[in-house]
A and B are shown apart, each in its own frame.
Chain A
Amino acid sequence: MGAVGLLVRRNPLVMFMCVELMLNAVNLTFVSLGDALEDLGGQLSVFFVLVVAAAEVVVGLAIVVAIMRHRAGSTVDDFSALGG
């Protein structure tokens, strides 16, 4: 669902929320399987993923806010300056 949402939604903030959705889904998967397979590695992976997700959110939101400040109500499609 997160993936679909990432592809379909145009508002950057909503796209971020989808990304978080996907990351949390992964965490959940890791924990449940770690418990099912009696392996502690699952819970360890969650640590790494959570840390990276947090860092990424900080940086990403900062960039998005910086861009969104210039044009309110713009969508992701407008930022095609890197296209070739």
Chain B
Amino acid sequence: MLDLVWLIPALPLAGCLLLLFTGSRLGEPRAGWLATFAMIGSFVATIGVFCDLATHDEHHRRSVVTLFTWIPAGDLSVDIGFLVDPLSITMCLFITGVGSLIHLYSIGYMHGDLGYGRFFAYLNLFAFAMLVLVLGDNLLLTFLGWEGVGACSYLLISFWFTDPANATAGKKAFVANRIGDWGVIVAICLTFFTFGSLSYTEIFDVADGSRIAESTATFIVVMLFVGAAGKSAQFPLYLWLPDAMAGPTPVSALIHAATMVTSGVYLLTRVNPIIADAADWLPLLISWVGVGTAFFAATVAIAQTDIKKILAYSTVSQLGYMFLAVGCGAYVPAIFHMVTHAFFKALLFLGSGSVIHGMSGDQDVRYYGGLKRWMPVTSATFIVGWLAIAGVPPFAGFWSKDEILAFAWNESPVLWAVALVTAVLTAFYMTRQVVLVFFGRYRYADPRPGEIADAWESRVTASAIELAESGSAVDLARSALDTARMSCAAAEKDQKDAVEVGRSATARDQDLIPTDPEELAQAILAAEDAVTSAASGVADAEAALEEAELIADSAATSHEALVQEAKNRLESPALALDGPPDVAAVERYLPKNVAEREGCLPHESPWTMTVPLVLLAMLSTIGGALQLPFASSLKFLEHWLEPSLFGNEVHLGVSGGTLWVLAIVAVVGGLIGITLAVATYQRRRINHRIFEQAILADAWGVDRAVTNFMGGPGRSGFLATRLFDERVIDGSIDKIGDLVRGIGTLLRRFHNGLVRTYAVGIGLGAAALLLWFLTRASW
């Protein structure tokens, strides 16, 4: 059965290749089922190898299955071989197990996506690379898998690459990983020079037997730690993980929670003999970086509003715990926490994906609320995951975290204190997330602050338009008045003319003008009527003008009042825990999407998504049984992993009583965190704004600082490097070419075809020869 270990990575690889060529033809959901069955097959193979390995006793629990020699280059000989030992099989078990569940989940999650086949091809490729990473029997094969998972991470983060933000996030992840890769490459080269081989069995035989030079070992491990920090998102190379949430949720669950990010911890655990030979300050450095990152990420997580970003920072924090354990020499708790973390973090991520699916894509935690009503399975499993990560017994997270805390206490009380505070913060922000998402008032249909601001703006604009209209009405009334006045004046003039005509008619020549006194009198009367009506028209126009002016004045005052009201109104809070914001004044002006959201209710996810959730919840509950601290016989994981650790595990020098006290303190700390969060977000006794500081939401400004640096001084540095490369390095080669060309240009002048030039040449040459012969002869 051991010989079939090559099946474990081969099945996902076959799945990937098949899907690359036939993915679009298979269509959904068959492409998804193909990928899932490949993973399940790999899991079955892993179980088979595990059972075979378990039958061997302690001293024979390690074997290498070599397929063929990959690089036969003299001294450097690298095979494609698989190291089957407890550490690698443990990792394979949870990679294939959790991986299969996530593949099953993705069948439902990615429903309707155009890149369905491509997604599963990438997922299988990732699984293949990860399995090669953990199964490889030499550093180079591990590095092959290492880079493979980095590349797949890039491919999957920027899966929806048509949005530039997603593509940028993918690039950021890849570049940050690459910085880590540099460290690993340097370490590989140095390992080869020190040990003469890259194969783990040979390295460990040397390192375990005779001690290697301390400085060499330290340097190798420091470089590997740089690589691990890049891959496992420790400070300062963690910046890519929150951005990586741009990828689909199953990707976040598989790669950025359960598997890829744990490869850094795996690498350090794998080379534990070299760490044992390294300087004393090195493990201390690893634990401090780990616990510092854990604390840092936990502080940031309490102020995040995106459901996935909370979990992303939580992952960074939990990985910090694993590095803390590795630094304290506690390899078994580190692996134990890795396994339980894979269970509950994948559960939490898949649960959040289910929530996002039910809420049709909205990821803002502030607008969820009360989803327990509509998503019972998701909420129940998410709560199990929450209890696990908060460290509540008897769930899995409590056992693993408690082991790490015990070893931290063993190493230094300060480390333990920081880790404990981080645990309290962890409980706090996870409870916050659970309360905001699943309990409380359903806030989705509330108008958002941006929408309310827009509504106020539209109302003020409408009022301004009214004001302008009333102003123009005033102008119209004025011009009407002017016209009326003009017609009145014209009518008066007509009347005067008529009277003049009447008067002059008697004196003038009677042929030209009608002399009928009746007609004249009528004309005069008509003119008088015209004047009267014109005068009354003027009076009407004046009255109309007064009215219009009154309206305009009132419009102006009401507009002023409205503008004042709009300025003075309170900014409605983004998180409205008590009740919906008061929008009575601008209800008519709210944008359309507010009304559309009224009828939108969440729905529970299909069985392909809920079954993995339930299975992972069960694992999170019973996972603690792997390593129970009560008796030595119950410490299954420790006995199982012994062959991989070469006795480098630190012995816990604390008594049983101390362990009980530490455990109780940890549980109390977790409960304090939970109580604080419930008091703030459910009972609303504490103002939540105390915790959600802007600087925390901005992740302490680190991302912005790095961007500013890279855009400013960093960019100048890069430009200088590029200029150096172009001008000095390339330039020196180019100058040689220019020199040759110059000489050629010079010599070309002699080949002009003119006989006389050639004659000169002959003459000079003959003279030179003559001179030479003469001077030679005289010696």
Interface residues of A (CB under 8 A from B): 3, 6-7, 10, 76-77, 79-84
| 9 A-B pairs whose Cβ atoms sit less than 8 Å apart in the complex | A3-B763, A7-B756, A79-B753, A79-B755, A80-B754, A82-B753, A83-B751, A83-B752, A84-B751
- Contact indicator B755/A76 (Cβ below 8 Å): yes
- Of residues 716 through 758 on chain B, the ones whose CB sits less than 8 Å from some CB of chain A are 748, 751-756
- Contact indicator B753/A6 (Cβ below 8 Å): no
In the complex, A77→B754 CA distance in Å? 6
Give the distance to chain B from A9, nearest Cβ to Cβ, in Å.
Answer: 9
- Contact indicator B754/A81 (Cβ below 8 Å): no
B777 at the interface (CB under 8 A from A): no
Residues in B with CB closer than 8 Å to A80 are 752-754
In the complex, A79→B754 CA distance in Å? 7
Give the distance to chain B from A56, nearest Cβ to Cβ, in Å.
Answer: 15
B585 at the interface (CB under 8 A from A): no
Residues in A with CB closer than 8 Å to B751 are 83-84
In the complex, A80→B754 CA distance in Å? 5
- Contact indicator A76/B760 (Cβ below 8 Å): no
Residues in B with CB closer than 8 Å to A79 are 753, 755
In the complex, A46→B115 CA distance in Å? 99
Binary CB contact string for chain B from 369 to 408 against chain A (1 if under 8 A, 0 otherwise): 0000000000000000000000000000000000000000
B705 at the interface (CB under 8 A from A): no
- Contact indicator B748/A84 (Cβ below 8 Å): yes
In the complex, A30→B763 CA distance in Å? 21
What 18 new A-B contacts, CB under 8 Å, besides A7-B763, A77-B754, A80-B754? A3-B763, A6-B759, A7-B759, A7-B760, A10-B756, A76-B754, A76-B756, A77-B756, A79-B755, A80-B752, A80-B753, A81-B753, A82-B753, A83-B752, A83-B753, A83-B754, A84-B751, A84-B753
In the complex, A6→B760 CA distance in Å? 9
Q: Which chain B residue lies CB-closest to A9?
A: B756
Give the distance to chain A from B317, nearest Cβ to Cβ, in Å.
Answer: 76
Residues in B with CB closer than 8 Å to A84 are 748, 751, 753
Give the distance to chain A from B747, nearest Cβ to Cβ, in Å.
Answer: 10
Residues in A with CB closer than 8 Å to B756 are 7, 10, 76-77
Give the distance to chain A from B755, nearest Cβ to Cβ, in Å.
Answer: 5
Chain B contact-residue range equals 10 to 19
Q: How many A-B residue pairs have CB under 8 A?
A: 27
Give the distance to chain A from B644, nearest Cβ to Cβ, in Å.
Answer: 75
Residues in B with CB closer than 8 Å to A76 are 754-756
Give the distance to chain A from B743, nearest Cβ to Cβ, in Å.
Answer: 15
Residues in A with CB closer than 8 Å to B763 are 3, 7
In the complex, A26→B751 CA distance in Å? 30
Give the distance to chain B from A80, nearest Cβ to Cβ, in Å.
Answer: 3
- Of residues 636 through 666 on chain B, the ones whose CB sits less than 8 Å from some CB of chain A are none
In the complex, A80→B749 CA distance in Å? 13
Residues in A with CB closer than 8 Å to B752 are 80, 83
Residues in A with CB closer than 8 Å to B759 are 6-7
In the complex, A47→B753 CA distance in Å? 34
In the complex, A7→B756 CA distance in Å? 6
Give the distance to chain A from B751, nearest Cβ to Cβ, in Å.
Answer: 4
Give the distance to chain A from B121, nearest Cβ to Cβ, in Å.
Answer: 61
Give the distance to chain B from A20, nearest Cβ to Cβ, in Å.
Answer: 15
In the complex, A81→B748 CA distance in Å? 15
In the complex, A76→B754 CA distance in Å? 7
Q: Which chain B residue lies CB-closest to A82?
A: B753
Q: Which chain B residue lies CB-closest to A84?
A: B751
Q: Which chain B residue lies CB-closest to A6?
A: B759
In the complex, A7→B767 CA distance in Å? 14
Residues in A with CB closer than 8 Å to B754 are 76-77, 80, 83
In the complex, A80→B753 CA distance in Å? 4
In the complex, A7→B759 CA distance in Å? 7
In the complex, A81→B755 CA distance in Å? 10
Residues in A with CB closer than 8 Å to B753 are 79-84
Q: Which chain B residue lies CB-closest to A83?
A: B753
Residues in B with CB closer than 8 Å to A7 are 756, 759-760, 763
Residues in B with CB closer than 8 Å to A6 are 759
In the complex, A6→B754 CA distance in Å? 13
In the complex, A83→B753 CA distance in Å? 3
In the complex, A76→B760 CA distance in Å? 14
Give the distance to chain B from A1, nearest Cβ to Cβ, in Å.
Answer: 13
Q: Which chain A residue lies CB-closest to B751?
A: A84
Give the distance to chain B from A54, nearest Cβ to Cβ, in Å.
Answer: 21
Give the distance to chain A from B495, nearest Cβ to Cβ, in Å.
Answer: 113
In the complex, A82→B758 CA distance in Å? 11
Residues in B with CB closer than 8 Å to A3 are 763
Residues in A with CB closer than 8 Å to B748 are 84
Give the distance to chain B from A36, nearest Cβ to Cβ, in Å.
Answer: 20
In the complex, A82→B755 CA distance in Å? 9
Q: Which chain B residue lies CB-closest to A10?
A: B756
In the complex, A41→B753 CA distance in Å? 39
Q: Which chain A residue lies CB-closest to B748?
A: A84
In the complex, A80→B756 CA distance in Å? 10
Binary CB contact string for chain B from 758 to 771 against chain A (1 if under 8 A, 0 otherwise): 01100100000000
Residues in B with CB closer than 8 Å to A83 are 751-754
Residues in B with CB closer than 8 Å to A77 are 754-756
In the complex, A64→B393 CA distance in Å? 115
In the complex, A7→B748 CA distance in Å? 21
Q: Which chain B residue lies CB-closest to A80?
A: B753
In the complex, A3→B430 CA distance in Å? 105
Residues in A with CB closer than 8 Å to B755 are 76-77, 79
